[in-house]
Amino acid sequence: MLTSRFPLCTIKETPADADTASHRLMLRAGMIRKLAAGIYSWLPLGLRVLRRIETVVREEMQRAGATELLMPSVQPKELWEESGRWGKYGHLLLRMQDRKEQWYCYGPTHEEVICDIVRNEIRSYKQLPLTLFQIQTKFRDEIRPRFGVMRAREFVMKDAYSFHLDQASLDATYQVMYDAYARIFTRLGLEFRAVQADSGDIGGDISHEFQVLAESGEDAIAFSEQSDYAANVELAEAAPPPPRPAPAQPLKRVATPTQKTIAAVTAFLGVGPQRCVKTLLLRIPGGLVALCLRGDHELNEVKAGKLPELQKGWTLASEAEVLAATGAPAGFIGPVGLRDSIAVIADRSAAALADFVCGANKDGTHLTGANWERDARLTRVADLRSVVDGDLAPDGKGRLKIARGIEVGHIFQNGCKYTEAMHVGVLDEQGKLQTPLTGCYGIGVSRIVAAAIEQNHDERGIIWPEPLAPFQIALLPLNMHKSEKLQAAAQVLYQELITAGYDVLMDDRELRPGPMFADMELIGIPHRLVLSDRSLDAGTVEYKGRRDAQPQDVARRDLLPFLTARLQVST
């Protein structure tokens, strides 16, 4: 490809509203342009990268036994009413009407459509197990899109769905997909981790996320350095605490006139936050619930949301509700002496404390030497907190570290959630109608582009992992317009490289060398060849890898073998 025929669209200045490295570099390199909030055009350069990822994903999906199809991006309301998600999916669903005023949505995911296809086309157990996938543009009307294509509203996703007669078959395919995902992200040259995950609204029991490790990631993941344990912090557990010691101190009331926060109370009383119990009062339909946590721990809302008491929704109690229920303002409430109608659910770590400090349910007062059972009613113990760095791993092997990641893949076992709702049935060997089990497997194709850049860039621009690079080789003939000799030599080399099977971008613009170098480094081409009258006279070509500190001269006649040793021929 010649730069004169390939619009590079690079920009020198940093766009004002780009906050992360990948967003900034994708705009500067001319890969994407914003059309509206969370909606981007893919310019030619960006599209080449996107296609490279799609190719790897497609190859690995096929190798894993999945078959490609393509479903519509626009889906009728009726299908979503069958699954019950027209209402449940909420504002994420972009709804629209056609000329007949029929309602549709722009598909945020395709469980409904795939179930409709399978129930119409698949009749017999002989056709199962079946795994279908597509690479499609989806739309989720995120409340706050940000970071460019990392959290866009419109995005490209690979989604696969598998159908099974029994759990063993689902387990087997799930494992095949898990392995395929690991191979995909490895092939793409990304540093990633597979972690146990919450299955969220998709539903189901078993679920893993594939997280690309990056400081700017929106997810926190916990993993043990001495075992395989790795989980999203939404879900991660610590090993249970040791059993509660017996009470040793008497319950004592202390005046804490202005100490409303854990930090203030601990400083005032000279005890660590891990000796305190903080109490959160939640409003649920028809009542209140108290959740108790150790002072140094945070409530994990995903875990709390699974409590039976909170199934019908919850919010934090208002200041007025707290006062009415406990007689004290927030900051002074505690589990001791709460009225009987309020269930007291303590996190395992809080429940393991003896002689703790907590609010006295009286303005300006705390208690010391408080103890469960003796002083405070305990309805139930549950795992309610988020793990923190240094917690013991749940398998007892090693301590947990917390890192940040970008979720690029997510696999689920859904059981019969969708097939049941959508009335998918297949006849088994006995001629009996069975509801198949399903798995679903997503990869954020466009998000991977951003994730790869987050992991691979420097102050000059992007540094593409080889398999993602829009071009393999940048060929820069310097000041070619002034030298016919150089023009001829460049043309010959360009043709040679193409014939050898390389993906080459030759810069034939009448630019000074500086801007040429800068552009190629910005767009991250992994290998650079420079031709000049000087090198022509010396019979050499200058080579520099994108990560190399210094260029090197290679004899012209040795160039092809030199490249063969360094890079793969593209297909």
Partner RNA sequence: CGGGGUGUAGCUCAGCCUGGUAGAGCACUUGGUUCGGGACCAAGGGGCCGCAGGUUCAAAUCCUGUCACCCCGACCA
Contact criterion met (CB below 8 Å) for 523 and 8: yes
> Could you give the CA distance from residue 524 to residue 392 in angstroms, rounded to a whole number?
41
Report in angstroms how near the CB of residue 93 gets to RNA at its nearest: 11
Question: DSSP 3-state helix, strand, coil percentages of the chain (rounded to 5)?
Answer: 30, 30, 40
* 154 lines the binding site for RNA (CB under 7 A): no
**What is the closest distance, in whole angstroms, from the C-beta atom of residue 507 to RNA in the complex?**
11
Least spacing, CB of residue 536 vs RNA, in Å: 9
Least separation, in Å, of the C-beta of 522 and RNA?
5
Nearer to RNA, 161 or 412 (CB): 412
How far, in Å, CA of 315 to CA of 341, rounded? 18
Q: Which of 174, 181, 192, 412 binds RNA (CB under 7 A)?
A: 412
Which of 10, 256 has the CB closer to RNA?
A: 10
Residue 564 Cβ vs RNA, minimum distance, rounded to whole Å: 22
Rg (CA), the chain: 30
Q: Which is nearer to RNA, 121 or 537 (CB)?
A: 537
DSSP 302-316: HHHTTSGGGTT--EE
Show the CA angle centred on residue 285, arms to residues 281 and 286, nearest 5°. 90
Q: Which two tokens stand for residue 125?
A: 């157990």
How do strand 343-347 and strand 380-382 relate by DSSP bridges?
parallel
Between 551 and 561, name the residue whose CB sits nearer to RNA: 551
**Of the two residues 403 and 531, which places its CB atom closer to RNA in the complex?**
531
| Rounded CA separation 171/331 (Å) | 48
Per CB under 7 A, does 241 bind RNA?
no
Nearest-angstrom CA–CA distance, 345 and 328? 19
Choices 34-42, 95-103, 117-125, 258-266; region in contact with RNA by CB under 7 A:
34-42
Q: Which range, of 7-15, 265-273, 319-327, 388-396, touches RNA by CB under 7 A?
A: 7-15
How far apart are CB 461 and RNA at their closest, in Å? 7
Given the complex with RNA, which of 36 and 246 has the nearer CB atom? 36
- Segment 502-561, which members bind RNA (CB under 7 A)? 512-515, 517-519, 521-522, 530, 532, 534-535, 542, 544, 551
Instruction: Select from 156, 35, 24, 29 the least CA-distant residue to 469.
Output: 29
- Is 362 a binding residue for RNA by CB under 7 A? The answer is no
Residue 38 lies near RNA (rule: CB under 7 A): yes
Best CA proximity match to 142, nearest among 106, 98, 118? 106
Q: Which of 64, 135, 149, 157: binder of RNA (CB under 7 A)?
A: 157
> Which 441-480 positions form the footprint of RNA (CB under 7 A)?
442-444, 460, 478-479
**Omega into 129 within 30° of 0, i.e. cis?**
yes
Among 1, 117, 202, 354, indicate the residue that binds RNA (CB under 7 A): 202
Q: Which residues pair with 357 in a beta bridge?
A: 276
Distances (CA, A) of 495 to 488, 505, 525: 11, 11, 19
By the 8 A CB rule, do 318 and 283 touch?
Answer: yes
Q: Give 302's contacts (C-beta < 8 A, 6+ positions apart).
A: 198, 234, 235
CB 432 → RNA: shortest distance, Å? 32
What the block records as the tokens of 566 is: 């360094």
Site for RNA in 61-90 (CB under 7 A): none
Characterise 101 by phi-psi region: left (phi > 0), alpha (psi -120 to 50), beta (else). left
Please count the residues of this chain forming the interface with RNA, following the rule CB under 7 A.
Answer: 56
**Cα distances (Å, whole numbers) of residue 35 to 41, 74, 153, 154:** 7, 20, 12, 11
Q: Is 299 in the site for RNA (CB under 7 A)?
A: no
Q: Select the residue interacting with RNA from 52, 151, 208, 417 (CB under 7 A).
A: 151
Under the binding rule (CB under 7 A), the answer on residue 565 touching RNA is no
CB of 15 to RNA, least distance (A): 5
Q: Which residues form the interface with RNA (CB under 7 A)?
A: 10-13, 15-17, 19, 34, 36-38, 92, 108-109, 138, 140, 142-146, 151, 157, 159, 199-202, 218, 301, 410, 412, 442-444, 460, 478-479, 482, 512-515, 517-519, 521-522, 530, 532, 534-535, 542, 544, 551
